Amino acid sequence: MPDLDRIVQDIAAEMRARPDRGAVASYIPELARVDAQGFGLAVIDGDGRIAAGGDADTPFSIQSISKVFTLTLALGMVGDRLWRRVGREPSGSPFNSIVQLERENGIPRNPFINAGAIAVTDVILSGHQPREALGEILRFMQFVAQDDSITIDERVAASEKRTGFRNAALANYMRSFDVIENPVDYTLGVYFHHCAIAMTCRQLATAGLFLAYSGHHPLAGHSVISGERARRINAIMLTCGHYDGSGDFAYRVGLPGKSGVGGGILAVAPGKASICVWSPGLDAAGNSHLGRIALEMLVKRTGWSIFGV
Ligand code: GLN
């Protein structure tokens, strides 16, 4: 077993000192206020042993990382029927691309680009009031993170609602194909709010454990989903979790991972650990710049890449 405490401390120290930090997301005004100096890393294994470094206990906006958990919930609700409304191929396009949606008749490429995640949110919303659907998502996050104190940052949600014109365009376009069934405002409201959930690296790493252990959550003591479903979600994280940077992330890190524009990345080392890293500066594809570099270092030292040592 690698000396995780040592490795995590070394990485946190090195990342703190690096001058290249990427650029904080500015299209959501509330996220533009976040200090680019933050860096946190948490690694948790199936026995609940945790190695944490830097700002691992600072809450940040989980943004698109929430899409892993909404996908899990939607699959639980409608099973494979979900794939009638959203594909599961990498997009090769930016996370908020509009042009691909027109070419493909309103069916988003995968559940992790914005259009796909909005369609998934719409599935969770159907038959419920927005407040109930959001409550369901938040309670699920609290359960898998084993922490009832997790909340939504209402300022981030409001900020995105005020400026989310592109997401509104995607949602309206999908509505015209009946890929979205509910009033667009309701679906977007739930989507913006689940993206605005605030969590720490420690909480998110804990939340990802069921994906690292074949659907079984070792700390909750029972299964969240089947092993087959966990394996499939991990596959979509690997191929689509970093948008048009997914190939590069697989090449450099070699773990299923999901990024968010808040600067977080959740990564899954099957059978080994669940990992969350946070650094708010992003690269050109909207993925955490230092987050990816830190994971690359972690995988090099642990030999955890799914592609071999
Ligand atoms: N809430 C963000 C958006 O819809 C999520 C994008 C992301 O994290 N990549 O634009």
The CATH number that applies at residue 241 is 3.40.710.10
pLDDT at 1: 65
Task: Tell me whether residue 308 is in a domain.
Answer: no
Task: Tell me whether residue 96 is in a domain.
Answer: yes
Which member of 123, 159, 243, 246 is catalytic?
243
Q: How far apart are CA 307 and CA 215, in angstroms?
A: 21
Q: How far apart are CA 100 and CA 63, in angstroms?
A: 22
pLDDT at 291: 98
Q: In sequence order, which residues have a C-beta less than 8 Å from that of residue 221 and are 6 or more positions away?
A: none
Strands 273-278 and 40-44: antiparallel
Low-confidence ranges of the chain (pLDDT < 70): 1
The reply to whether ligand 1 has any atom less than 6 angstroms from the CB of 55 is no
Percent helix, strand and coil across the chain, each rounded to 5? 50, 15, 35
Closest atom of ligand 1 to CA, residue 262 = 8
Domain finish residue from 197, 214, 230: 197
Domain finish residue from 162, 197, 232: 197
The reply to whether ligand 1 has any atom less than 6 angstroms from the CB of 95 is yes
pLDDT at 93: 87
Task: Tell me whether residue 120 is in a domain.
Answer: yes
The verdict on whether 300 is a catalytic residue reads: no
Examine the domain organization and report whether 12 and 41 are in the same domain: yes
Which member of 253, 261, 268, 299 is catalytic?
261
User: Which domain does 268 fall in, by range?
Assistant: 4-58+200-302
Indicate whether this model's pTM tops 0.85: yes
How many domains, in total, are found in the chain? 2
Examine the domain organization and report whether 191 and 209 are in the same domain: no
Examine the domain organization and report whether 68 and 187 are in the same domain: yes
Domain finish residue from 197, 229, 250: 197
**Ligand 1 centroid – CA 270 distance (Å):** 26
Examine the domain organization and report whether 165 and 217 are in the same domain: no
**Ligand 1 centroid – CA 151 distance (Å):** 18
